[in-house]
Amino acid sequence: MGIGFSLRQWLVRFAFAGLALGGWLAAASFAVPSVAHAQQSPTLTATPVAPSVWRISGAGFTPGEQLGVLEVPCALPCGAGPQAYAPATVGPDGSFSVDLDFTRAVLPPGRDSWVVAAWPPGRRGLASDPTVRFPATPTLAGTLGMSKQLYVIGDDASAAFEGQITGCAAGTGVSVGFYKKGPGSSDNVLVEGLPTTNVVVAADGAIRGAIPFTAGAPARPATVFAAVSGGCLPSPLFATGGAVLLAIRDADENRDGASTIVVPADALNSRGSMAGGKTLAEAVGSIEVLANGRLCTEASLVAPGTLDAEGNARIHIGGPAQPGECSLAGALITFINGSGQTLFEKRTLIPGVTQPLENLAPEAAPNTGPVPGAPAAGSGSSLAPAATGGGQRMAALGVAALAAFALVAMQLARRRRRTR
């Protein structure tokens, strides 16, 4: 009798101990992820500030952290280079704000929206990095369109435009001119020496007119952006279609059917974050120029023989020493950099004309498919540690412990019955 009571008491204590251990293990499985969820997850939002410029704002990041904010052309981790990039420093409150310019960017095949991500420099992007997706064509305060992309000073007397503005009363005066774009929307400035024109907003919000080209303006080829500005607009409204090219008919430089491509000094000497600290000229090295696929010439962007007195690279195409395609009006001009990459920019050959070339970025790598699971605008991917896997393992251990103690208790109970 005493022995039976002692054994029952021992079994009860044993079972309670097993239940306590199993319950502790199971409870620990819920405690682990609660720590991760307490951490704030970084998020990105996008707001349009111009036809091709978006303001990317971040929140919940580590104060003082250095970030690269960039367009992601393919699924993360993605090896293709971005078409829009800006560095950012996170403020004391964990936030930042930068402007990304998509004027010269091209949507990857099969996509109708941009995807932007942010992560620290020095590593590739991860699928867990915060992203934001937004439409390629935002709703703005109106539209402006130019009659064409390339104007030749000496052939074209003016640059015609038309547009539609909302928010400006009928009869309001606005101005249309050519701008240079800076890193932020506040850095966009009118190009000195280029003409502007004033027009009045019609009753239906329409504007129409032409910017006249006066003699000698511009004096050199330029890549500019047409925009309308006025007191009724919060900021200049840029024309759709990207940059406007102002070329110069120059018979003195371009003899015998030749033409010239000019890469301006400010572009050559720029030190973009993607160039590894080198100037753009040093990073690109040299350029091969082809007309309809036929090699015309190769020019170094750093050799003195290519640079003029102002530091602009002047690349001459055509003439008796080059293949006939290199003097063929309408031929497609393509460019290959020193690394063998074809540049995104193309030109149409116009004999006797000097054209600008500022964007030396290579073509975007082919898209590998849509970005899987990219959050909608205003959301972000969490950087919280993946604690759920460890929690599931601990929960499983708790269940296993309960089962083991139950099995031991059953075996002891059977043994006790046999000894009676």
Residue-wise pLDDT tens digits, 332-373: 999 999 999 999 999 999 999 999 999 898 886 544 333 333
CATH 2.60.40.230 fits 43-135, yes or no: yes
Question: Residue 171: pLDDT above 70?
Answer: yes
Most distant CA atoms of the chain, gap in Å: 123
Q: Say which residues have a Cβ less than 8 Å from residue 114's Cβ, sequence separation at least 6.
A: 46, 54, 71, 84, 102, 105, 107, 133, 134, 135, 136
CA 212 to chain centroid, in Å, comes to 34
Q: What architecture (CATH level 2) is domain 140-250?
A: Sandwich (2.60)
Q: Which long-range contacts (CB under 8 A, 24 or more apart) does 299-306 make?
A: 301/263, 301/268
Q: Which of 57, 59, 55, 129 is CA-nearest to residue 94?
A: 59
Point out the least confidently predicted range of 65-74, 117-126, 369-378.
Answer: 369-378
Q: Can you tell me the distance from the alpha carbon of 144 to that of 179, in angstroms, rounded to the nearest whole number? A: 14
- Is residue 190 classed as helix, strand or coil in its secondary structure? strand
How much is the mean pLDDT over the chain?
79
314-339 mean pLDDT: 95
Token pair listed for 113: 């929206």
- State the pLDDT at residue 29: 43
Mean pLDDT of 191-200: 92
CA–CA dist 205, 219 (Å, integer): 34
